[in-house]
């Protein structure tokens, strides 16, 4: 005897997935940068150094004097010589006036007037030491800087962003089916 059989044929469902990828484009325009540096101002002030050398005493010691000094010294020497003669004459006149006191004033005065003053002999350095006078005033240098900060101007730009959305699409590629047959 034959038993009927059931024969089943099934077809499974199949899905189809298709994707469109997302797309992102970013463009960054460069920033605009302007830098300006004002020039530095510099002021220099200076006072020059000063050296003063006075060698008039050294020249005077070597008898190389200025004309005005020679005239002044000659006048002073002449005045002193006149005063010395007046003093000696007054003293000798007083001695002669008192001749009765004894002694021999005429012979003494003749001997004193006939002799000159003793010569002075001395070793001297010409010019004498420390006769040149020096004076020094140092100079001065002042430097002033006037700096100015740089001027910086920055203009930024926003980035340019383009975004395209992606998609996922799911379709039914094959429908499921079930077919049943009875076979005898």
Residue ranges of alpha helices (H) inside 11-162 are: 56-61, 67-97, 105-114
Give me the DSSP letters along 130-144. Answer: T-SEEEEE--EEEEE
Reading the chain (184 residues) residue by residue, the pLDDT tens digits are 678 888 889 999 999 999 999 999 999 999 999 999 999 999 999 999 999 999 888 888 777 888 888 899 899 999 999 999 999 999 998 888 888 887 888 888 888 888 877 777 766 667 778 888 999 999 999 999 899 999 999 999 999 999 999 999 999 889 999 898 888 7
- pTM of the predicted model over 0.75: no
- Whole-Å CA distances, 63 to 66, 68, 101, 119: 9, 13, 48, 18
d(C-alpha 104, C-alpha 173), whole Å: 175
Nearest to 37 by CA among 167, 149, 182, 172: 149
Beta bridge partners of 32: 155
């Amino acid at each position: 005897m034959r038993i009927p059989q059931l024969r089943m044929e099934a077809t499974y469902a199949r899905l189809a997935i298709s994707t469109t990828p997302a797309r992102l484009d970013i463009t960054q325009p460069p920033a605009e940068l302007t830098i300006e540096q004002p020039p530095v101002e510099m002021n220099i002030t200076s006072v020059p150094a000063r050296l003063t050398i006075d060698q008039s005493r050294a020249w005077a010691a070597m008898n190389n004097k200025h004309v005005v000094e020679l005239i002044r010294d000659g006048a002073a020497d002449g005045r002193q010589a006149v005063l010395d003669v007046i003093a000696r004459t007054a003293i000798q006149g007083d001695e002669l006036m008192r001749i009765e006191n004894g002694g021999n004033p005429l012979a003494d005065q003749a001997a004193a007037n006939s002799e000159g003053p003793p010569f002075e002999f001395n070793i001297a350095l010409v010019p004498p030491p420390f006769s040149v006078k020096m004076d020094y005033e140092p100079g001065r240098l002042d430097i002033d800087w006037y700096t100015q900060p740089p001027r910086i101007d920055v203009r930024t730009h926003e980035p340019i962003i383009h975004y395209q959305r992606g998609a996922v699409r799911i379709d039914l590629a094959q429908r499921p089916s079930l077919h049943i047959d009875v076979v005898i």
